[in-house]
Structure 1
Amino acid sequence: MGKKKRKSKSKTTLKKKEEEFTFRGYTLAKLKKMRLEDLAELMCARQRRKLKRGLREGENKLLEALKSVKSVSGGGEASEAGESVKTHLRDALVLPGMVGKKVGIHNGKSFEYVEIKTEMIGHYLGELALTRKRVLHGAAGVGATRSSKYVPLR
C-alpha cells in the first residue's frame, strides 16, 4: 500500500471571509426593522421582561436623541463633542438602533464615552461603563511594616 500525499495548508493561503454579525440568527439590518415585541422574543428573560413592560420616558428620549446623532465611521476614539449623547440611564438596554453611535454613560463620577458595537445588543449600558477602578497597590510606605520601623527617616 502506498502512502497518500497530503496537501499542507501552510502553502495555500486561505482567504478569511468577513463574517456578517448575527444576533440569534438575524442580521443587523433585519434587527433594525423588527418591532420591539419581536425583538424581545430574541432576548434573555430579564431583557425580555423589560421590553415587554415598555420603555420609560427617559429611554424614549435617549433613543430619539441617538437618532439625530450621526453614526461613527472609521472607528476612531470616542470624543466628547457634539457627536455623542450623554446619559445617566445605566439600566437602558442596547437596542439595534443604537449601533454605531457614541454614548456618554455616567459611571457615578464622570461620563465614559463608548461606541456601541453590534456585539453589545441586549446588554445594559451600565455594563459598558465600569463604576470602580482596579486597585493597583504600590510599594509599602515608610513605617508600614515591622522591619522598617527602626530605619532612619532622612
Structure 2
Amino acid sequence: MSSEVKTKRRPFKKFTYRGVDLDQLCEMSREDLAQLLDARARRRFQRGTKKKETRLLKRLRKAKKNAPELEKPECVKTHLRNMIVLPEMVGNVVGIYNGKTFNQVEIKAEMVGHYLGEFSITYKPVKHGRPGIGATHSSRFIPLKIIKRLFHNLRLETDSLILDIIKL
C-alpha cells in the first residue's frame, strides 16, 4: 500500500484554452484563434487589428528575441489597455498605463483572451481610516473640533488664534 502511494506523481497541469494547448494556440492563425475567443473579442478581430496594436506585438516579439535565455524579456510600456492578450504575448513583461504610472505585468497563459487593462487597476482601493470632523453625531458637540473646523474653512492656519478664543 505504501509503495502505491510513492509511485503516484502529480504532474503539472498543462494549460489549455477551451480545450486547445498553448503551443497549438501560438501556431493558430488569428481567424482560428478568434473562433475560440468570446463574442466581444471575436467582433474585435473581425474589425481588424490597428496600427498601434501591431506595433506593440512587434515590440513584444523583439523584446522576447533579444532576451537572454532563462530570463524575462525587457518591459515594453504601452497605453493600449484595450488590447486583447494573445498567445504569442505569453512570457513577456508589459508595462500597462493606469493613468498615472506603468504597472509591470508578466503575461501568463491564463490571461489569454482578457484585456490588458484588467491587470492594471486605475484606482486606489479605499482604506477606511478614522472618521473626520463632523462625520458622526458624537463628534459634532466637541467645541474644540467645531472651532477648528470653522477656522479651517476660513483658511486661517494659525493655531494660536484658536487657543486664544478657547481661553476666553
TM-score (norm 1): 0.80
Where in structure 2 are the equivalents of 1:129-148 lying within 5 Å? 129-148=120-139
| Shift in Å, 1:130 | 1.2
Equivalent residue for 1:52? 46
Tell me, in whole angstroms, the C-alpha distance in 2 between the residues paired with 1:133 and 1:127: 14
What RMSD in Å do the two structures reach over aligned CA positions? Answer: 2.5
Match of 2:36, SS state, is: coil
- Identity over the aligned pairs, expressed in percent? 49
| Shift in Å, 1:63 | 0.1
Match of 1:49, SS state, is: helix
The code of the aligned residue for 1:24 comes to: R
| Shift in Å, 1:29 | 1.0
Equivalent residue for 1:99? 90
Asked if 1:15 corresponds to 2:6, the answer is no
Match of 1:90, SS state, is: coil
Residue by residue, what CA displacement relative to the aligned partner does 1:29-76 show, whole Å, maximum 9, x if unpaired?
11111110111111111101111221100000000000011369578x
Where in structure 2 are the equivalents of 1:56-135 lying within 5 Å? 56-70=50-64, 73=70, 83-135=74-126
Residue by residue, what CA displacement relative to the aligned partner does 1:83-102 show, whole Å, maximum 9, x if unpaired?
11111111111000100100
Tell me, in whole angstroms, the C-alpha distance in 2 between the residues paired with 1:59 and 1:67: 12
| Shift in Å, 1:141 | 2.7
* Structure 1 unaligned residues grouped into runs of 5+: 1-6, 76-81
Tell me, in whole angstroms, the C-alpha distance in 2 between the residues paired with 1:148 and 1:45: 53
* Structure 2 unaligned residues grouped into runs of 5+: 145-162, 164-168
The code of the aligned residue for 1:99 comes to: V
Asked if 1:36 corresponds to 2:27, the answer is no
Equivalent residue for 2:157? none
| Shift in Å, 1:146 | 2.7
Work out which of the two has the higher radius of gyration on C-alpha atoms and give 1 or 2: 2
Equivalent residue for 2:158? none
Tell me, in whole angstroms, the C-alpha distance in 2 between the residues paired with 1:106 and 1:112: 6
Tell me, in whole angstroms, the C-alpha distance in 2 between the residues paired with 1:139 and 1:74: 45
